[in-house]
Amino acid sequence: MITYNHEKFIAEAIEGVVMQKTSFPFELVIGEDCSTDSTRAICVEYQKKYPDIIRLRLPEKNQGMMLNWINNIESGQGKYIALCDGDDYWTDPYKLQKQVDFMEANTDFALCSHSVYTLMCEQLDENIEMERNVLTTEDIILKDWGLLTASIFFRKDAHKTPDWYYTVKNGDYALQLIVSLSGKIKFLPEYMAVYRQHLGGMSSTLKPLNQMAWMVYLLNKFDKYTTRKFKDAIKERIKRMYKVQIYYAKGYSLRKAAAILTVYQKLTVLNPFLIQSRRK
């Protein structure tokens, strides 16, 4: 669990973890990245209450999201890693047990996910239905969604940290792509967590042009990392992303962004990665 300025949400996130009922020991590693609110104090109080479960990482200086994310995952001591950001929360007390049971019985799977509710404006909504319950790297590339972070559970030895991983914005999506190279992905139909969509979230801080640039940058790095094994799927994903981001740019009256996106969209026949130079 990484957290920064989540004083309104962090207690619920922690409670969702410590309530887990399992046949095995587990730890909650919290990377608290020098919040300017009371998030750190809340984490410290919970660690005192659950000293056998909670381990705190309390850097003296702000690391930034990606470095905090990677360092936190790498510091995990378990065979498996489960993720839950400090503004999301788990709802099923048997979530970890269900995912461990599946992964122990199916060694050819590298990651296990599940259905997640989205909470926005106090409204709890179901997410899109998954077409299949077994997914591959190509599925993760081609679909317009990524698996939601609060659902992700994977084998720690499948987590690699190439140099480019430290430079991206969409760390959760990069992780899914990297881990998927080590095995199949299982999707469980049960709703066992809640993704909280709010103005402080990462996705809300990037405008359509910037979102597009950063995602294309990530896909370009992954394309090189896999020696272009998935080049056709990546090109198809980028084409569809342009349509989506142009739609949003026009919807929010971001005319300049829509115009720039349209130009780069036409240039994809020459080079699908050109827009990465516009990331900020």
Confidence bin at 280 (pLDDT 50/70/90): confident
Amino acid in position 272: P
* Structural domain range at position 233: 206-278
Residue 177 shares a structural domain with residue 216: no
pLDDT reported for residue 128: 66
pLDDT in tens, 240-264: 999 999 998 899 889 999 999 999 9
Q: Domain of 190: which CATH number? A: 3.90.550.10
Confidence bin at 206 (pLDDT 50/70/90): low
Amino acid in position 263: V
C-beta neighbour count of 78 within 10 angstroms: 14
pLDDT reported for residue 205: 45
Cβ-proximal residues to 111 (8 Å cutoff; 6+ apart), any chain: 147, 152, 153, 154, 155, 158, 176, 179, 180, 183, 185, 186
Could you tell me where the DSSP H helices lie in 143-230?
171-180, 208-225
Statement: the pTM of the whole predicted model exceeds 0.85? yes
Q: Supply 249's token pair.
A: 């740019």
Residue 57 shares a structural domain with residue 167: yes
pLDDT in tens, 124-177: 777 766 778 999 999 999 987 679 999 999 999 999 999 999 999 999 999 999
pLDDT reported for residue 197: 82
Enumerate the β-bridge partners of residue 49.
Answer: none
Select the more confidently predicted residue: 23 or 253: 23
In the chain, the number of structural domains is 2
Sign of the four-CA dihedral 91, 93, 94, 95: positive
Q: Supply 190's token pair.
A: 């049960």
Residue at which a domain ends, from 196, 227, 247: 196
Nearest Cα to 57, choosing from 27, 21, 32? Answer: 32
Residue 35: half-sphere exposure toward Cβ, Cα within 13 Å: 21
pLDDT reported for residue 37: 98
In the block, tokens 């909470």 appear at: 119
Residue 21 shares a structural domain with residue 153: yes
Q: Does the pLDDT value for residue 39 go beyond 60? A: yes
Select the more confidently predicted residue: 205 or 180: 180
pLDDT reported for residue 124: 78
Asked if residue 201 belongs to a domain, the reply is no
Q: Does the pLDDT value for residue 61 go beyond 80? A: yes
Asked if residue 57 belongs to a domain, the reply is yes
Residue 232 shares a structural domain with residue 177: no
